[in-house]
Amino acid sequence: MKLRRSFSSQQLIFALGLSLSLAALTGAHGQDRLVTRTNQVQQGKIVGVSNGTVQIQIGAGTIGIPLASVHSVAMEAPAEFATGKAAYEAGDSAKALASIKTVAEKFRGLPTPWAQEAAGLLGDIYVALNKLPEAEAAYVAFQKAYGGAGGSIQTDVGLARIAFSKKEYAKAKEKLEPITAKALEEKNPAPAAAASYSQAFFTLGQIQEAEQDYVSALENYLRTVTLFYHDKVAVAGAKERADALRKTHQVSVP
C-alpha cells in the first residue's frame, strides 16, 4: 500500500503561504487593539499610560496616542491584577497593595474594566490598611480618571468608608443613604455600580451597628449577603457581622 504522496510545486507554495498567513493572523490576534474616536485602529503592545497618552510599543519603537482621543481598548489584564485581587479577596491587603498599585498607576485612565477596577480597588485596599490619606488620594485620582456614573458612586462609597473609619458617621451616612436608596430601586444594577452597592450596604450597616441601631444594621448586612453580593470582601464582612449581631444581641429582622 502506497502511503506517501508527492506534492506539486504549486501545492507546496500554497501550503507555505497558508502557514505564513495563519502565523500572521495569530500574531495580530495576540496584540492589544486601540480604537480612536475617529475610528482609527492601532495594534501593538500597550505598555502604560503616561502624561495623558497611551503608550503603544510597535516593533522596536513606542508611540503615544492622546488618552482623550481613545474610544476603546482591547487588552488582557496584566497578571498582577488577578494576583492582587485574589489577595485582597482573601483578606491579605498588604500583599494585594503592591500588585494593584502597580496596575492602577501604570494604566489609570485606560478604558478597560480591569483598569477601572484596579484604580478603585487601590482606594479600597488603602482603607483596609487604615491608610486613609492614601485612600482619599486614590479615590480622587479614580474619580478624575473614571468620572462616569459608576465611577462617581464608587468614589462616594470610598469617601464614606474613610469617614466611617474616622468615626464621622453623619458625613458617611450623607453619602451612603442616597446610594442605597437608589440601589433598592434598581432590579439589575449595572456592573460598574454593583460592587459599590455591596460596599455601601455593608458600610451603612457598620455605621448603624456603631450607633447601636442593631436591627437596621442587621437588615443592611443581610441585604449585602442576599441582594447585593457583588463584592466578596463586603459579603464576607457582612455575614460575619450579621452572625455576631444575632449571637450577641439576639436581634432579628421583622
Going from the C-alpha of 152 to that of each of 42, 109, 160, the distances in angstroms are 30, 14, 12
pLDDT exceeds 50 at position 17:
no
Q: Is 123 inside any structural domain?
A: yes
Supply the CATH number for residue 29's domain. 2.30.30.100
- Range in 7-16, 48-57, 187-196 with the lowest mean pLDDT: 7-16
- The verdict on 154 and 235 lying in the same domain is yes
**Residue numbers of the domain that contains 39:** 9-74
pLDDT exceeds 70 at position 178:
yes
Domain final residue, candidates 27, 52, 74: 74
pLDDT at 61: 93
Which residues make beta-bridge pairs with 70? 36
- The verdict on 49 and 96 lying in the same domain is no
Task: Read off the pLDDT of each residue in 43-69 and give the average, rounded to a whole number.
Answer: 95
- The verdict on 148 and 86 lying in the same domain is yes
pLDDT at 204: 98
Task: Read off the pLDDT of each residue in 190-215 and give the average, rounded to a whole number.
Answer: 93
Q: Is 1 inside any structural domain?
A: no
User: What is the DSSP secondary structure assignment for residue 130, as one 8-state letter?
Assistant: T
User: How far is it, in rounded angstroms, from Cα 135 to Cα 126?
Assistant: 5
Structural element, H or E, at residue 114 = helix 113-128
Which cell goes with 153?
A: 458612586
- The verdict on 123 and 70 lying in the same domain is no
Q: What is the overall mean pLDDT for the chain?
A: 88
Task: Read off the pLDDT of each residue in 156-167 and give the average, rounded to a whole number.
Answer: 95
- Is 127 or 12 the better-scoring residue by pLDDT? 127
- The verdict on 67 and 129 lying in the same domain is no
User: How far is it, in rounded angstroms, from Cα 219 to Cα 1?
Assistant: 79
pLDDT exceeds 90 at position 28:
no
User: How far is it, in rounded angstroms, from Cα 209 to Cα 180?
Assistant: 17
Task: Read off the pLDDT of each residue in 233-240 and give the average, rounded to a whole number.
Answer: 96
- The structure's pTM equals 0.81
Please tell me the total count of domains within the chain: 2
- The verdict on 70 and 126 lying in the same domain is no
- The verdict on 33 and 111 lying in the same domain is no
* Confidence class for position 230, pLDDT limits 50, 70, 90: very high
pLDDT exceeds 50 at position 9:
no
pLDDT at 225: 96
User: How far is it, in rounded angstroms, from Cα 240 to Cα 15?
Assistant: 63
- The verdict on 66 and 119 lying in the same domain is no
- The verdict on 149 and 99 lying in the same domain is yes
- The verdict on 173 and 63 lying in the same domain is no
- Give the rounded percent of residues in the chain with a pLDDT score beyond 70: 87
Supply the CATH number for residue 148's domain. 1.25.40.10
Domain final residue, candidates 45, 74, 103: 74
- Range in 154-163, 184-193, 208-217 with the lowest mean pLDDT: 184-193
- The verdict on 152 and 169 lying in the same domain is yes
Domain final residue, candidates 74, 96, 130: 74
Task: Read off the pLDDT of each residue in 30-35 and give the average, rounded to a whole number.
Answer: 92
Phi-psi region of 44 (alpha: psi -120 to 50; beta: other; left: phi over 0): left
pLDDT at 185: 92
* Confidence class for position 30, pLDDT limits 50, 70, 90: confident
